Amino acid sequence: MSRISIILPAKNEAAALKDLLPRLTAAQPGAEIIVVDDGSTDDTKAVCAASGVVCLSSPYSMGNGAAIKRGARAAKGEILVFMDGDGQHDPADIARLMARLEQGYDMVVGARDWESQAGVGRGLANTLYNWLASRMTGQAVADLTSGFRVARADRFREFIHLLPNGFSYPTTSTMAFFRSAYGVAYEPIKAAERVGKSHIKPLKDGVRFLLIIFKIATLYSPLKLFFPVSVVFFLLGCLNYAWTFAHDGRLTNMSTLLWSAGVIVFLIGLVSEQITALTYKKDG
């Protein structure tokens, strides 16, 4: 079997790691386990040392995505397993995800059910993301934002430069795999309640969740987002012209402005589509 590297981004997750690391070692003996300490102020390093696990420490917090990138670069395995360091993910599920990967997929994502969502708000947001991603890609996306996934290392490293340093690396990697026609599968999992306090702040991260909506589109096919918007502007211009012509017998500036906006939005989408194509173009 190919060598496996398990990567866990962790920020002040010592309490969860004390229980998780021994379970990981038991479930995947011989696997390389890398904990990426994202500027923790607790005893994360000591917990890793006690478990004989590699710990890559950052002098300050750079973000969840930055930890993922650092771990992926350091990993020696042909298969990368990404798990949250807060104890939500069951190490026993790795075997099921690996089995799906061996069926010919390039990435397998652990798909959470509704009971595993961290609150109603997060559940509704994830449902919206999944629906939009499914519409954009034409594939059934069961869990776009799950942090529990296995991927072939060479495939995943192709997109490291695209990954953000923040929390949306799962979205970026999933859409990048779809865009590059790499096989993605979903395996149902149950996520437990995290150990300790979540690092996500609803008010601060609200804008981030909205930006994910646009990232879903721009990472796959920008024109699929911009073209419908341009059509809406064009139709609004037609409706405004019909109204003003019927009542005043003339063409107004508003109609012209709406038509112009439609053309501009369409052209932005067209240029964005070309930029996206160049982004995924492999050298050589």
Contacts 24+ apart (CB under 8 A), 197-205: 198/86, 198/118, 199/11, 199/64, 200/118, 200/167, 202/121, 205/167
Superfamily of domain 4-220: Spore Coat Polysaccharide Biosynthesis Protein SpsA; Chain A (3.90.550.10)
pLDDT in tens, 12-41: 899 999 999 999 999 999 899 999 999 999
**What SS3 class is residue 86?**
coil
**Number of residues written out for the chain:** 284
Per-domain boundaries in the chain: 4-220, 222-279
Other beta carbons within 10 angstroms of residue 18's beta carbon come to 17
Q: What is the DSSP letter of 147?
A: S
| In contact, 106 and 143? CB cutoff 8 Å | no
Question: What phi and psi values does residue 202 have, to the nearest 5 degrees?
Answer: -55, -45
Question: What phi and psi values does residue 268 have, to the nearest 5 degrees?
Answer: -60, -45
pLDDT at 216 over 60: yes
Q: Which is more confidently placed, 225 or 197?
A: 225
| In contact, 71 and 9? CB cutoff 8 Å | yes
The whole-angstrom separation of Cα 1 and Cα 152 is 13
pTM of the model: 0.78
pLDDT at 211 over 80: no
pLDDT in tens, 145-165: 899 999 999 999 999 988 888
Q: Which of 7, 9, 6 lies closest to 167 in space, CA to CA?
A: 9
pLDDT in tens, 51-98: 889 999 988 889 899 999 999 999 999 999 999 988 889 999 999 999
The whole-angstrom separation of Cα 114 and Cα 139 is 20
